[in-house]
Amino acid sequence: MSGSAIIAAHSSSWAAALVRISPYTFSAIGIAVSIGVSVLGAAWGIYITGSSLIGAAIKAPRITSKNLISVIFCEAVAIYGVIVAIILQTKLESVPKASIYEPESLRAGYAIFASGLIVGFANLVCGLCVGIIGSSCALSDAQNSSLFVKILVIEIFGKTIMTPADVAENLMPKVVNEDVETSFERLIQALRSSKEETVMKAKKEEGISSNGEETEEL
């Protein structure tokens, strides 16, 4: 009797079918999505930024070196996806065959799967966002060099889209054995701290860029 026939014989619901899928399968899918979709987002962003940068550099070659930061931001998305995949892989543990379908094992597999999905698709959106803003930054800088710093600040905020995904990825495997209220409080606390760090980083980058621009004018 095939596996599908066995599932149908025991229960006809989708929930029962999903429960019979090994948690290692969910974990592997989450890790693969974390890498694959992150690389897709990075490649898409580099394609968008690179095409505009190469075209605008024909008329204004000076923009090439400065606007490479947009390409670096996009590449960082792919690197981050690989790092998260490695971290998720380290969370896999050997479980006795009799305990694979225990609730704790299933929750752990679902947590790794959800972490991979969150990080992968957040990085996809982040790569597109940074790519589009980087493209606009290159074209604007070619026309007016004073716009570079202003658009760079916007790009930094676009880059931090993946910060909530980082928080969720770190907390998801830890909340498997916690109650909902405690997990929610930890998530809110982490999001607040990450928001404060993002604002401070943007202010710092804006100050450094402004000082550099004043030095060039002098």
Classify residue 4: in a domain, yes or no: no
Maximum alpha-carbon separation in the chain? 82
Q: How confident is the model at residue 190 (pLDDT cuts 50, 70, 90)?
A: low
Residue-wise pLDDT for 18-30, tens only, equals 777 888 888 899 9
Give the chain's domain count: 1
Please say if the pLDDT value at position 212 is more than 60. no
DSSP assignment of 140-182 equals: HHHH-TTHHHHHHHHHHHHHTTHHHHHHHHHHTGGGTTS-HHH
Q: Is residue 11 part of a domain?
A: no
pLDDT of residue 188: 57
CA neighbours within 13 Å on the CB side: how many for 23?
Answer: 22
pTM of the model: 0.71
User: CATH number, domain at 37?
Assistant: 1.20.120.610
Flag whether 7 is in a domain.
no
**Are the C-beta atoms of 114 and 183 separated by less than 8 Å?**
no
Per the model's pLDDT, the better-predicted residue between 143 and 17 turns out to be 143
The per-residue pLDDT for 218 is: 44
Q: Which domain holds residue 133?
A: 22-217
Residue 6, pLDDT score: 44
Q: Which residue has the higher pLDDT, 151 or 211?
A: 151
91 part of a folded domain: yes
Mean pLDDT within 147-169:
81
- Please enumerate in sequence order all residues whose Cβ is within 8 A of that of 158, keeping only pairs 6 or more positions apart, or say none: 126, 129, 130, 133
With cut-offs at 50, 70 and 90, classify the pLDDT of residue 132: very high
Q: How high is the pLDDT of residue 102?
A: 80
Fill in the amino acid letter for 203.
K
Rounded Cα gap, residues 64 and 142, in angstroms: 10
* pLDDT on residue 135: 92
User: Residue 10 domain-assigned?
Assistant: no
State the burial class of residue 167 (Cβ atoms within 10 Å of its Cβ: 0-12, 13-18, 19+): buried
Rounded CA separation 113/167 (Å) = 15
Whether residue 204 is contained in a domain is answered as yes
200, containing H or E segment? helix 180-217
In a domain, 13, yes or no: no
Domain assignment present for 14 = no
Reference 112, options 96, 131, 89; nearest CA is 89
Asked if 30 contacts 114 with a C-beta cutoff of 8 angstroms, the reply is yes
How high is the pLDDT of residue 5? 45
